[in-house]
Chain A
């Protein structure tokens, strides 16, 4: 049986984002809670709402800097891009948060550990305006340009 191609979240048209944050709440709901504290995705205004929004979510880099700076291998590269997080190995040093230029390593202030996207796509399925897409990664995807968020 062929192995499933890994998937990722792509911000395909941030200009259509209305800032409803339905994706944020959807991400928290994935683990069975309401609110925003547990979300691995964030939506912020682009400097006042008149300028629209930015969506901050792991783009599943082919060569992820967060994994490179992890001293305990709690974060390891995933085949096809992105990372896999092993909570037990994490010492909460915060290097990964510093390394991600998008700010997509969100932080759990209680556990003092990163909150890492698991590429499940629930956020995209609750985006009412097709800002987000859940799509397959490509092997040679070394310059994905559509992360406009």
Chain B
């Protein structure tokens, strides 16, 4: 196999894997990583270079890019992997970030990115290490009912415990549910926009990445001193403490109190069961363990210990450890009117077993419930599963049927809420933005403008929900044009963080000064300043927006379901005029973004 002579400890090796030919190649792309830093900035370029602009999501050639950043393995909280692909869910830029161990494993195996192209003819899983890739037969794993089993088998069959990451899909990905996720380390996910379905289309069941590597620095003393500063900030800051104690579910009660917690398909903004499913109550009743991503002292991952009595044997119990986070709790709790935390946890477990995105699944089921009430769909079309608010047993059965797809309705629901509503009606209460089901923030215009204008239609793109909430103190929202400018600035800066693959929870710690010093330590040739960083962020964002444009996304034609205007936000009812003006402003701003800089392709290898 061809290999580059580039030393593994220099950041910029890209592993290209052709699943159809079962071959791989390692290319030296220090050029690309110098210009883009890594992560999101590198992934969008690699996606463009490898056919992403012309690929359809179901093409075998639809490339998958995993990219990490130059601080991985050197600094804490820089442990996210950015995945990019053409989304089978909305046909646009598929971008999903996951914590866990994959970023550190990819870098420790000697790579800055991994690019997968082509499709295998038979089920396969990959083992990636410093010498390249091994292709393993996965035909016996294909069709397994439970994604946990897939993870266990790969864990037991492959070496490298403590130095590896295990990515895998469940049944949902195999059968092409467009919002199937990729699970990593059991409790983290490439959740949004259907990476699991792209894996499934390639007959790719999973990936094990193994590696122990060294990242040299020119000035160890300076490195240690700066590391200590960042580490102290991470372990002592109040913001991090919040995620460390209760985890993201700390958001349930405040959002409920603000009337910003989407409830029963956003008919309401607060939930009578909020107390029962709050982060506080969950910790008290269920918290069984906490986990961290690799190289992150915060440990925001919270696991619930859920004991289940066997139905026929009175002294026979099983205890499951289930991850819980704010977004799945909103989607499978308040959004479905499920106030019993045990029942909610069992829904989260089923979503995990099938390998679905919890947020999209909850929103699809919420639409389905309302569609039943409105007579848009029949019990027959639901295969006898009568969906109704709070009925967790019915929801659990429906989750399985989304994957089994016994009827046309489930086949439609397996393509997301926007598609299902386009067939069965109920567009006014199909809560998707840019084709992606909504996150759990009914905070006001900022939140919705983020969902609409964000390059991956994620609340994390530009965090408008944060502007909505902080402006409450002042009693006034910024005018729409100013709101858009703030969102744009935030999204551009977040491209820098996502290119470094710094966790967004650590954004208060990784200020421009801290980032510049860390980069100087990581690579003395990589001298940069705040304005260069911001240009890199804007460039990445421009490329992502251009990608979406090529795929046909037009901001001014954004579809806003009627429901968001009906239910009061903390700012009262959403103002249509405000939203319209803001979208026009966004469209103009996007149009004025500089064309991305071109760079020479100097790939070797």
**Which B203-251 residues have C-beta < 8 A from chain A?**
212-217, 220-221, 223-224, 227, 231, 235
Given contacts A44-B161, A48-B152, contact A33 B220 (CB under 8 A): yes
Can you identify 10 A-B contacts, CB atoms within 8 angstroms? A21-B294, A29-B220, A32-B220, A33-B214, A33-B216, A35-B107, A36-B73, A36-B104, A45-B162, A128-B235
Instruction: Map CB proximity to A onto B280-303 as digits: 1 under 8 Å, 0 otherwise.
Output: 000000000111111111010101
Given contacts A50-B186, A128-B297, contact A34 B291 (CB under 8 A): no
CB neighbours (8 Å) of A132 from chain B are: none
Distance in angstroms from B304 CB to nearest chain A CB is 11
Q: Does B108 contact A (CB under 8 A)?
A: yes
Q: Does B504 contact A (CB under 8 A)?
A: no
CB neighbours (8 Å) of B104 from chain A are: 21, 36
Given contacts A18-B290, A29-B223, A29-B224, contact A35 B297 (CB under 8 A): no
Q: Does B34 contact A (CB under 8 A)?
A: no
Q: In whole angstroms, what is the CA distance A56 to B161 when docked? A: 12
Q: Does B118 contact A (CB under 8 A)?
A: no
Q: In whole angstroms, what is the CA distance A94 to B216 when docked? A: 26
CB neighbours (8 Å) of A28 from chain B are: 214
Which residues on B are within 8 Å of A, measured CB to CB?
9, 73-76, 104, 107-108, 151-152, 155, 161-163, 185-187, 212-217, 220-221, 223-224, 227, 231, 235, 289-297, 299, 301, 303, 321
CB neighbours (8 Å) of A37 from chain B are: 108, 212-214
Contact across chains for B215 and A33 when beta carbons are under 8 A apart:
yes
Contact across chains for B291 and A18 when beta carbons are under 8 A apart:
yes
Q: Does A92 contact B (CB under 8 A)?
A: no
Q: Does A22 contact B (CB under 8 A)?
A: yes
Instruction: Map CB proximity to B onto A126-149 as digits: 1 under 8 Å, 0 otherwise.
Output: 101100000000000000000000
Q: In whole angstroms, what is the CA distance A42 to B289 when docked? A: 20
Given contacts A48-B151, A50-B186, contact A35 B108 (CB under 8 A): yes
Contact across chains for B295 and A35 when beta carbons are under 8 A apart:
no
Given contacts A49-B187, A126-B231, A128-B235, contact A36 B212 (CB under 8 A): yes
**Which A1-52 residues have C-beta < 8 A from chain B?**
18-22, 25, 28-29, 31-38, 42-45, 47-52
Contact across chains for B297 and A22 when beta carbons are under 8 A apart:
yes
CB neighbours (8 Å) of A25 from chain B are: 73, 76, 295
CB neighbours (8 Å) of A52 from chain B are: 289
Distance in angstroms from B163 CB to nearest chain A CB is 6
Distance in angstroms from B216 CB to nearest chain A CB is 5
Q: In whole angstroms, what is the CA distance A110 to B600 when docked? A: 35
CB neighbours (8 Å) of B227 from chain A are: 29
Contact across chains for B162 and A44 when beta carbons are under 8 A apart:
yes
CB neighbours (8 Å) of A20 from chain B are: 292-297, 299
- Of chain B, the residue at the smallest CB distance from A129 is B299
Contact across chains for B292 and A18 when beta carbons are under 8 A apart:
yes
Instruction: Count how many chain A residues have C-beta atoms less than 8 Å from C-beta atoms of the other chain.
Output: 30
Contact across chains for A36 and B235 when beta carbons are under 8 A apart:
no
Nearest first, the 3 closest Cβ-Cβ pairs linking A and B are A32-B220, A34-B215, A44-B162
**Contacts A35-B214, A51-B321, A129-B299 known; 17 new A-B pairs at CB < 8 A:** A18-B301, A21-B292, A21-B294, A22-B231, A25-B73, A31-B220, A32-B221, A34-B215, A35-B74, A35-B107, A36-B73, A36-B104, A37-B212, A45-B161, A47-B155, A128-B235, A128-B299
Most chain B CB inside 10 Å of its own CB: which residue of A19, A21, A34, A38: A34
Select which of B107, B151, B217, B292 is within 8 A of A19 by beta carbon: B292
Q: In whole angstroms, what is the CA distance A43 to B164 when docked? A: 11
- Of chain B, the residue at the smallest CB distance from A25 is B295
Q: In whole angstroms, what is the CA distance A38 to B108 when docked? A: 12
Given contacts A32-B223, A50-B289, contact A21 B295 (CB under 8 A): yes
Distance in angstroms from B314 CB to nearest chain A CB is 25
Most chain B CB inside 10 Å of its own CB: which residue of A38, A43, A45: A45
CB neighbours (8 Å) of A49 from chain B are: 185-187, 291
Distance in angstroms from B25 CB to nearest chain A CB is 24
- Of chain B, the residue at the smallest CB distance from A51 is B321
Distance in angstroms from A86 CB to nearest chain B CB is 23
Given contacts A45-B161, A48-B152, A48-B155, contact A33 B217 (CB under 8 A): yes
CB neighbours (8 Å) of A128 from chain B are: 235, 297, 299
CB neighbours (8 Å) of A19 from chain B are: 291-292, 294
Q: In whole angstroms, what is the CA distance A42 to B161 when docked? A: 10
